[in-house]
Structure 1
Amino acid sequence: MKIPDQVMQYNKLGKSGLKVSQLSYGAWVTFGNQLDVKDAKSILQCCRDHGVNFFDNAEVYANGRAEEIMGQAIKELGWKRTDLVISTKIFWGGPGPNDKGLSRKHIVEGTKNSLKRLDMEYVDVLYCHRPDIGTPIEETVRAMNHVIDKGWAYYWGTSEWSAQQITEAWGVAERLDLVESEYLPLYANYGLGLTTWSPLASGVLTGKYNSGNIPPDSRFALDNYKNLANRSLVDDVLRKVNGVKPIADELGVPLSQLAIAWCASNPNISSVITGATKEAQIQENMKTINAIPLLTPAVVEKIEAIVQTKPKRPDSYR
């Protein structure tokens, strides 16, 4: 039975009031490496035409050029800033000794520089791109809180932090009275809103790659992504991709849509950040909205039996 066409869903980012499109777009690799402002405008407009309101960037993407391209493209498109959710990430800002990490100096200066490149007064979400074990967590928490207080960002989050690191940061915020004690019982049940990136594993889950075939117009053909290709195009990964392909065929959807739908169907994921260099790829990715209802628990279990990525609870002992 054919599933009726779906419309873009907007999810709250965790339990905050911020609503982000279930599918979003990220500038990693594409802006500045493969796309200029003209191309970016067509890609961004195609995303908006499909209901996307969330666009992701980072200071390190194309050494800052990705932020410049996104900002200029949005300005030329004449979009209302309030209609958009823009995020960027701070960690790798340049070659200098204070241009990297999560010190107060780099968080403040990096955020200002990102806003200048984006030509925006604020971002909606500012991420700590990686944990910084060389900076005291209290310094990072205070600096991010300062950024929020200044209105340069409305929310802050983390990227690839461990559960322990997130918990430690929360404990510091509580100790410093950056969280009102009256609401602590509510925050104890606060849910993380995940914005997952690279749902197609840089194209591996489209099925277009094999160990001896790298299309010349793909990101793995770029000189600065050869190492990523070597890590991704390994026999175990390709075997799993080939194993999932029959499930996609059975459901009547492309493998790429099945992969994105698998991410989006996770109730803990607020938005899946997709990437594309062509409008046709955007259009194909956005059709995933119609594939999400096909991922029943039985289908998800079939996929899990092949990819084996489901976290396992640790054994408990009496």
Structure 2
Amino acid sequence: MEFRYLGNSGLKISEITYGNWLTHGSQVENEAALACVRAALDAGITTFDTADVYANTKAESVLGEALAGERRESLEIMTKVYFPTGPKGPNDTGLSRKHILESINGSLSRLGTDYVDVYQAHRFDVETPLEETMQAFADVVRQGKALYIGVSEWTADQLREGHALAKELGVQLISNQPQYSMLWRVIEPEVVPTSKELGISQVVWSPVAQGILTGKYLPGEPPPAGSRATDDKGGANMIGQFMNDDLLARVQNLKPIASDLDLTMAQLAVAWVLANDNVACAIVGASRPEQVTANAAASGVELSADVLQAIDDALGDVVVSDPGYTAQGMPKHRLS
């Protein structure tokens, strides 16, 4: 396993990071979840990403149980706050001072730790003054409950404003967690250049496009039984944007490229996002331990310029690169 600095900080994280969105506490039974975390540790993964909203707090509890007994100093744990949790009352959501300070305490209790390495704003809260949000995050850091702060799916302008406030408050905003894959490149035109300027790294989710880039979904055929596209607990909704025959046919064009490199298609997809020097890590999830082991093998794989061009040629115009999608996907009001 190789490691990269997170933003303009001295913190190193494993370039393959284990995430438990859509798995722990919902899709995957606890025994399987524990086995996946064990496989991640065995593969050299030290960085784990979760959020309080995943399975309405259950995912944090499962991760905390899985990591119990591990040397805390040898791990990097990241969690997030914003989306509704608990009974979903009027203050159980957003980035108000009240919700942030109460949420970090809940997350720490469930994770079984005194602090998280990175505490992240899961989305931008349009209903709370950014000054209030950043002051609350700064206080979390000063209380020793988080070492650094990060955000998720913020636009370039939001990153710039948040970074300026964090600097004024004497805390480090070092990461952004966007969706990024061969198929979804909306961060490249604006978010990545701004992040490089500010010293912010990308902690990317869905590098395998929720399984699409494994090649297991074939055009004109029903999705495999038990796959995310058949999951009625949220997985099918998330993957739906990619489920069209033209896109699936283009993805099949990647098979010979992966084969020539002696990689699985998933490993090729993970290596592709890591080829971007603003990416600190690729978050991978799993429902089976062997998936973790296989994806971890993408660490250290280098793709030549010719291979990167071949990937672009294979996918053609199914790639989404419009930077406007980041703002478009931002909640227009606080969710409840």
Using the size of structure 2 for normalisation, the TM-score is: 0.82
Please say if residues 58 and 88 of structure 1, whose CA atoms lie closer than 8 Å, have aligned partners that are also in contact.
yes
- Within 1, Cα distance between the matches of 2:61 and 2:84? 14
Within the candidate set 51, 60, 71, 2:44 is matched to: 51
The reply to whether residue 38 of structure 1 matches residue 46 of structure 2 is no
The reply to whether residue 263 of structure 1 matches residue 255 of structure 2 is no
- One-letter code aligned to 1:200: V
Q: Which is worse superposed, 211-220 or 157-166?
A: 211-220
- Within 1, Cα distance between the matches of 2:286 and 2:166? 37
Q: Which residue of 2 aligns with 1:224?
A: 233
Please say if residues 114 and 145 of structure 2, whose CA atoms lie closer than 8 Å, have aligned partners that are also in contact.
yes
RMSD between aligned residues: 2.2
The reply to whether residue 163 of structure 1 matches residue 172 of structure 2 is no
Larger RCO (CA under 8 A, 6+ residues apart)? 2
Shift of 1:179: 6.4
- Within 1, Cα distance between the matches of 2:83 and 2:132? 17
- Within 1, Cα distance between the matches of 2:118 and 2:242? 29
Shift of 1:214: 2.0
Return closer, same or farther for 1:173/1:279 CA change in 2, 3 Å cut-off. closer
Return closer, same or farther for 1:93/1:112 CA change in 2, 3 Å cut-off. farther
- Within 2, Cα distance between the matches of 1:219 and 1:310? 21
**SS of equivalent to 1:89:** strand
- One-letter code aligned to 2:218: N
Shift of 1:188: 9.8
Shift of 1:311: 6.0
Structure 1: where are the runs of 5+ without partners? 1-7, 181-186, 314-318
How big is each residue's C-alpha offset from its partner over 1:83-133, in whole Å with a ceiling of 9 and x where there is no partner? 100000101132211111111111111111111111211111111001111
- Within 2, Cα distance between the matches of 1:305 and 1:202? 22
Structure 2: where are the runs of 5+ without partners? 173-194, 324-336
Q: Which residue of 1 aligns with 2:178?
A: none
- Within 2, Cα distance between the matches of 1:100 and 1:271? 27
Q: How does 1:140-219 map to 2 (within 5 A)?
A: 140-174=133-167, 176-178=168-170, 190-210=198-218, 212-219=221-228
Shift of 1:159: 0.3
Shift of 1:15: 1.9
Shift of 1:231: 1.9
Using the size of structure 1 for normalisation, the TM-score is: 0.86
Shift of 1:229: 3.2
**SS of equivalent to 2:21:** coil
- Within 2, Cα distance between the matches of 1:215 and 1:203? 11
Alignment coverage as a number of residue pairs: 295
Return closer, same or farther for 1:239/1:114 CA change in 2, 3 Å cut-off. same
The reply to whether residue 244 of structure 1 matches residue 284 of structure 2 is no
How big is each residue's C-alpha offset from its partner over 1:111-162, in whole Å with a ceiling of 9 and x where there is no partner? 1111111121111111100111111111111111111111111111010000
Larger Rg: 1
